Amino acid sequence: MSTAASARAADLRAGDAKAAPLGAPKTAAGKVAVWADERTGIAKGASVMLKKVFPDHWSFMLGEVAMYSMIICLLTGVFLTFWFVPSMGEVAYQGSYLPLKGITMSEAYSSTLAISFDVRGGLLIRQIHHWAALMFVVSLSVHMFRVFFTGAFRKPREINWVIGTILSMLALIEGFAGYSLPDDLLSGTGIRAAEGFMRSIPIVGSWVSYIVFGGAFPGEAIIPRLYSVHILLLPAILVGLFAAHLILVMVHKHTQYPGPGRTENNVVGFPLMPVYTAKAGGFFFLVFGLLTLISALVTINPIWAYGPYDPSPVTAGSQPDWYMGFADGALRLLPGALEFEIFGFTLSLNVFLGAILLIPVMYTITGAYPFIERWVTGDNREHHLLDRPRNAPTRTALGVAAITAYIILFLAAGNDIMAIRLQMSINDITEALRVLFFVAPVLAFWVTKRICLSLQRHDRDTVLHGRESGTLVRTAEGKYYEVHEDLDPYTRWKLVSFESPAPIAIGSGKDANGVSSKAAKKERRRAKLSRFYFKDRVEPVTPAELAAAHHHGEHEAIEAPSAAPQAVKRAKQD
């Protein structure tokens, strides 16, 4: 340091004046900032961070809701650990809930009752914790939908999509571990079911169950083990992955919807400081306030009504929390005929497929989607401008089909509730859902794709002919026509600034010498998929078409020509 200082001093010539040193900070905050910067060098990083620009849109705040719900879960969870006793030791209940007085139960259940009835504010905090957990999974799912339908997972954000997918899957397991802890009749039934799922794993099932439960069900180990998983292991992984998720958002910069002035090379919005620190900070308190309001008004998981867990009783209406519902639904839909004996061993595929295999398979497909789409389109460019869902009809339709299949499974988990509430036969509901699981996604795909294409055509129409104003004009000759108002260039840009890639030509599966090769066959498969994606398409209006439309007059229909190929921006095909 001293050498550098003396070297700098030597650089000064006679008469040179040293730059006047910045005045000492005058405000208290300034003093703290300087103190901190002198010791950590934080100013440089903070300056970059605080100047980060984010675009403004309500759908970008869905992920924020998930983040805040998670933070609320962490805060309230700490409170709950002060009183919860993660033990399966038996006690006779002596708390203030009379209908259970003197009943033998585990310490876990007894302490949860104490939190609900005897700890000041305990029930409210418990309900905030549980509602926030449900909200966490709801909002991260909807955030995922937003990212999927707008194509925000494309290069360079594939890794972040995969991290998000893993976060989403871990959230389910974290939730399951959490609602199993009170050891009430409902959650105990859930653990019993989980034990059955483990046993359905071919060959190793019973060993897995013995390892997890430390012996035969229920044993005395499962609640303490789930507790470690719920408060230590999974939160650590969740928070770590979440930090990586956020850092990558900073690294990639936020995506933005297309609009005037917005390009692949900029972000139009406001800086973190002061706009988003205020907005996002305020939003945290709004989310916290709303969740507290819900928790103060609406019961969630009234464990006192369920009674302590006992392996003999099972209650009607046993369901998991909503995010595990689809797996439960799959279990309810799978026909019993899938269980059979092979070499004297029972293979319970009717359980295994829905309860064990479904979750990893579903999340693997989800996580792999960006790579599949990239392979089909061959698009290797970076994308920072989002797609409007209608402008990617096949992707949107695939997404809706997947959500439809998920909803069918989700509904199946409530087949008994539907049967009593809608006075229908549970058998008929189950049969109908079995059929719908295969039929509904196909229908949803087709309907969604058609709707997207129609919307695109409508956009095209609006650009070419302007907006119908509803004003009818009669000319001097007695001719009537409706005045179409021209779009302003800003609105028009939104409607024309998208890409509509053409499908790749399907080859013969043979290479240049007419010999069928693996590579050529792979290329043929890719071309077929590309055709599936882009066969039906509506191209954006080109300037030439627009000029022609204006030239013809406002109300003459112009057939959308598939000509003007020079204007079609194609995705890179090779």
Partner 1 sequence: MNALAARRRHPAAIALLLVLGLALVGAAYSLFAPKPAQAAATAVSADAINEGRQLFLSNCASCHGLSAEGTKSGPTLIGVGAASVDFQVGTGRMPLSAPNVQAPRGERVMYDEKQIAAMAAYVASLAPGPAIPDEKVSSGEGGDAALGGELFRVNCAMCHNVSGAGGALTRGKYAPPVQGVEGKYIVEAMLTGPQSMPVFDDKNINEEGKASIVNYLKTFESQPNVGGMNLGNLGPVSEGLFIWIFGLALMIGTAFWLGQKAA
Both tokens assigned to 174: 């974290």
The residue (of 168 and 456) whose beta carbon lies closer to partner 1 is 168
Residue whose token pair is 């464990």: 303
The residue (of 185 and 433) whose beta carbon lies closer to partner 1 is 185
Q: Which of 188, 182, 165, 55 is nearest to 107 (CA)?
A: 182
Residue 510 DSSP class = B
| Cα(532)–Cα(506) distance, integer angstroms | 11
The residue (of 334 and 541) whose beta carbon lies closer to partner 1 is 334
- Minimum Å distance from CB 194 to partner 1? 15
| Cα(501)–Cα(539) distance, integer angstroms | 9
- Minimum Å distance from CB 458 to partner 1? 24
**Count of CB atoms situated within 10 Å of the CB of 141:** 18
Q: Which of 148, 140, 171, 136 is nearest to 368 (CA)?
A: 148
Q: Which of 120, 122, 87 is nearest to 106 (CA)?
A: 87
- Minimum Å distance from CB 162 to partner 1? 25
The residue (of 300 and 564) whose beta carbon lies closer to partner 1 is 300
- Minimum Å distance from CB 123 to partner 1? 6
| Cα(572)–Cα(376) distance, integer angstroms | 11
The residue (of 132 and 541) whose beta carbon lies closer to partner 1 is 132
The SS3 call for residue 118 is coil
- Minimum Å distance from CB 383 to partner 1? 23
- Minimum Å distance from CB 112 to partner 1? 13
Q: Which of 359, 314, 259 is nearest to 57 (CA)?
A: 259
Burial 82-97 (b: 16+ CB within 10 A, else e): eebbbbbeeeebeeee
**CA dihedral in degrees (154, 156, 158, 160; nearest 10)?**
-120
The residue (of 275 and 347) whose beta carbon lies closer to partner 1 is 275
The residue (of 127 and 456) whose beta carbon lies closer to partner 1 is 127
The residue (of 435 and 473) whose beta carbon lies closer to partner 1 is 435
- Minimum Å distance from CB 480 to partner 1? 40
| Cα(143)–Cα(161) distance, integer angstroms | 11
- Minimum Å distance from CB 233 to partner 1? 24
The residue (of 228 and 425) whose beta carbon lies closer to partner 1 is 425
- Minimum Å distance from CB 106 to partner 1? 15
- The answer to whether 113 and 303 are in contact (CB under 8 A) is yes
Both tokens assigned to 467: 């907006």
Distances (CA, A) of 15 to 8, 11, 12, 18, 277: 15, 12, 8, 10, 46
